Amino acid sequence: MSLELCPLSIEDIKSELDEIREIAAKNSNKKMLETALSCIDLTTLNSTDTISSVAAFTEKVNQFPTKYSGIKNVAAICVYPNMAKTVKETLKVSGVKIAAVAGGFPSSMTFTEVKIEEVKLAVAAGADEIDIVLPLWAFLEGDFETCSNEISAIKKAIGNAHLKVILESGVLSPDQIWQASLLAIEAGADFIKTSTGKLPQAATPEAALIMCLAIKQYYEETERKIGFKPAGGIVTPEDAMLYLTIVQEILGDEWLTPELFRIGASRLANNLLEKITGNGAKHF
C-alpha cells in the first residue's frame, strides 16, 4: 500500500471549514447541544484513578436519568482496561457502553501479542468497545502492512466489541491522516478517532474534515458506515458544535447518533449540561 494523497489541498480544507464554521455558529440550539451530550464518551484516564474514584464516576452516570429527566445520558464511560470491571459492576443504567483504551495505549509501543492479550482481557472484564492507537512507529516508517495486520488481528480478538482506532492526527500531515484513515477502516475499524489526548497536538477541525471525507468515500464505495470520534482538547459547547457540524455537513444527519459519532471528553459534559439547562451546577 502506497501513500495516497488527500483529495483536498490545504486551501480547500480551510475554505470548507470557513463555510462550516458559519453554519456551526447557527447550529447551537438545544436539540444539537443535547445530541452532543448523548454522543460523549465520558472519560477518566488519570494515573490517579482508583477503583473508588471510577465507581463514583460511574455513579454520576447512574444518577443522571433521575436528575435530568428528558435529557439523554452520555453514550459511554471510557476508562483504562483494568477499570472496566469496576464500571461493569457499578453501572446500572441501560444504553451506556463501557469503552476501554487498550493495546498499549497511549503510545502503542509494545508487542502485538501483548496488545491482543490486553484487549481480550478488557473485553472479558466488561468492555463493549476498545480504543487502540495506530502503531505510529510502523506507520511513520511506511510499514503499512504491519499496521493493517495488527488492527485486523485486534479486531478479530475482540469479537463483537466495537473497535475504535486512534490515528494521533495531530502529528500527521493531511496526506498521512487520509492514508491512516483508509488503512484503519479497511483493516476493520468500526470507528476512527483523532487523538489520545495525551499529546500536545489534539483534535483539530482540519483532521476531522479529512477523516470524515475518508469515511464518506469508503461508504460510497462499500455502503458500510464507519463511525467518527474527535477527542482531545474538546471543552466548550462551541467546540462540540463545530465537530457536530463537520459530521453533519459531510456525512449527513444519519451520522449524528452515538452509533456513528462520539466525542471523547471529560470537561465538555458539564459545559454542555450547563448550556442546556441554564444551571451552573456541575454533575459529572
Give the CATH number, domain containing residue 137.
3.20.20.70
The catalytically annotated residue of 97, 155, 193, 275 is 193
Identify the domain containing residue 152 by its residue range.
Answer: 10-277
- Does residue 283 lie within any of the structural domains? no
Catalytic residue among 131, 155, 164, 190: 131
Question: C-alpha angle with apex 133: 189 to 190, nearest 5 degrees?
Answer: 15
**CA 20 – CA 238 distance, rounded (Å):** 13
Catalytic one among 41, 229, 239, 275? 229
Residue whose C-alpha cell is 502492512 = 145
- Beta pairing partners, 264: 41, 231
Q: Is 70 left (phi over 0), alpha (psi -120 to 50) or beta?
A: left
Pairing between strand 76-79 and 191-193? unpaired
Q: pLDDT tens-digit profile of 31-60?
A: 999 999 999 999 999 999 999 999 999 999
Is 31 among the residues known to form the active site?
Answer: no
Residue 252 lies in a domain: yes
How far apart are the C-alpha atoms of 99 and 114, rounded to whole Å? 19
Q: In this predicted model, what pLDDT tens digit does every residue of 108-165 receive, in sequence order?
A: 999 999 999 999 999 999 999 999 999 999 999 999 999 999 999 999 999 999 999 9
| Domain-embedded: residue 88 | yes
Give a yes or no: residue 85 inside a domain: yes
> Is 14 known to be catalytic?
no
Q: What is the pLDDT of residue 3?
A: 67
Q: pTM of the entire structure? A: 0.96
Q: What is the pLDDT of residue 270?
A: 95
Query: Crossing angle of helices 268-277/237-251, nearest 10°?
Result: 90
Q: Which amino acid is at 13?
A: I
> 167 in a domain, yes or no?
yes
Provide the domain count of the chain. Answer: 1
Residue 30 lies in a domain: yes
Q: Nearest to residue 198, comparing CAs of 79, 45, 84?
A: 45
Residue 193, SS3 per DSSP: strand
Whether 198 sits among the annotated catalytic residues: the reply is no
For 14-31, how does the pLDDT look when each residue is reduced to its tens digit (9 = 90+)?
999 999 999 999 988 999
Tell me, what amino acid is at 220? E
In a domain, 228, yes or no: yes
3 contacts: CB under 8 Å, gap ≥ 6? 142, 175, 176, 179
- Domain-embedded: residue 243: yes
Q: What is the CA radius of gyration of the chain?
A: 18
